[in-house]
Amino acid sequence: MVENRPFAQFMAYLTLVIGVLVVAFPVYLAIMASTFDAATIINGNMPLVPGDQAGVNYPRALFYGGVHAREPVGGMMLNSMIMAMGIAIGKILISILSAYAVVYFKFPFRKTAFWIIFITLMLPVEVRIYPTYKIVADLGLLDTYTGLIMPLIASATGTLLFRQFFMTIPDELLEASKIDGAGAFRFFKDTLLPLSITTIAALFVIQFIYGWNQYLWPLLITTKSSMQTIVIGIKKMITTTDALTEWQIAMTTAVLAMVPPVLVVIFMQRLFVKGLVETEK
């Protein structure tokens, strides 16, 4: 819109503000709830201004856990962190290498290989969960980090993203490095990898959050409470059968669970956006 129409502008801002409020209010509520004691939350009249229990709730959640599921959130966060990092880094490694092979090497059935990778987009974890569970169980990987990470690493999205990016790199660059005496590995390390930094960052953000938010898979294959991830931890805290839910601890845990993804997004935001929109090379 070029012309300056105050009313239209006001409406636009109003819509935006309402949208932001709708999204942000539950988050705000969770943060507030993490600063009160259980009684204040339960009686139904929780104030919307911060209480004074934050200093009690956070250390207790981090190092002790709930009354029933007595598992410190610190440990769960570590598990989640290892899993999310493993998935993000593993996915990037696998997909950048497979995209490199598919784009730059001419081998028989190259197109077929690409299409097979592409087709796995139709088979997310939820669809192939039983066979995957069976394999992981047979390999004795239940309750291990490997079992948590490995089945989630294979990624068509990542391969696709890198492939599209590699296709925009002019062939002359490859030819110039051939003449400069760089072999396949050198070209990858010296030219392709530095040029892919923004794409890698974008993928890292997406996959870290994807890994961090995993629920179904960890729920299936972890039984030991020491292997629990934070997402499952929250769930366990609010399903108690014979006692009051400790809402203040659950909310504290939820707030803590939000922190790492938010930090990742904040610190990688600029690279992330660049990686998704950059076309000029």
Partner 1 sequence: MAGVTLDTVRKIYAGNVEAVKGVSLGIEDGSFCVLVGPSGCGKSTLLRMIAGLETISGGEIKIGNRVVNQVEPADRDIAMVFQNYALYPHMSVYDNMAYGLRNRKTPKDEIEKRVKEAARILAIEPFLDRKPRALSGGQRQRVAMGRAIVRKPQVFLFDEPLSNLDAKLRVQMRVEIKRLQKALGVTSIYVTHDQVEAMTLSDKLVVMSGGQIEQVGSPSEVYRRPETRFVATFIGSPPMNILPGKVEGPGRVSVGGQVIAVTDMREGLTPGSSIEVGLRPEDVQAGSAPGASSLAMEVDFVEELGATQLFHGKVAGTDFVVQASTGQIGADTRKLTLSIDPGNVHLFDPQSTKRLGRV
- Tell me which stretch binds partner 1 (CB under 8 A): 6-14, 67-75, 181-189, 230-238: 181-189
Residue reference for tokens 């974008």 = 202
Among 176, 244, 259, 262, binds partner 1 (CB under 8 A): 176
How many Cβ atoms from other residues are within 10 Å of residue 212's Cβ? Answer: 23
CB nearer partner 1, residue 132 or residue 198: 198
Specify the 3-state DSSP secondary structure of 70: coil
Question: Taking CB under 8 A as the rule, does residue 179 contact partner 1?
Answer: yes
Q: How far is the CB of 187 from partner 1 (least distance, A)?
A: 10
DSSP state for residue 242 in the 8-state scheme: S
Any contact of residue 108 with partner 1 (CB under 8 A)? no
For the record, the structure tokens of 249 come out as 């601890």
Work out the number of other CB atoms within 10 angstroms of the CB of residue 90.
19
Least distance in Å: CB of 181 to partner 1? 4
CB of 179 to partner 1, least distance (A): 5
Binding mask 153-172 for partner 1 (x = CB under 8 A): -----------------x-x
Interface with partner 1 includes 181 (CB under 8 A)? yes
CB of 191 to partner 1, least distance (A): 6
Interface with partner 1 includes 195 (CB under 8 A)?
yes
Q: Is 143 among the residues that bind partner 1 (CB under 8 A)? A: no
Measured in whole angstroms, the distance separating CA 169 from the mean position of its chain's CA atoms is 28
In the block, residue with structure tokens 């062939």:
171
Residue 254: its H or E element: helix 247-277
- Element spanning 24, H or E: helix 6-33
Residue 108 C-beta: closest distance to partner 1, Å: 14
190 part of the interface to partner 1, by CB under 8 A: yes
State yes or no: residue 182 binds partner 1 (CB under 8 A).
yes
The amino acid that residue 185 corresponds to is F
Distance, in Å, from the CA atom of 72 to the CA atom of 253, rounded to the nearest integer, reads: 10
Shortest distance in whole angstroms from residue 174 CB to partner 1: 9
Q: What would the two tokens of residue 167 be?
A: 């296709």
When the beta carbons of 202 and 231 are compared against partner 1, the nearer one is: 202
3 state SS for 150-187: HHHCCCHHHHHHHHHHHHHCCHHHHHHHHHCCCCHHHH
Residue ranges in contact with partner 1 by CB under 8 A:
170, 172-173, 175-182, 186, 190-191, 194-195, 281
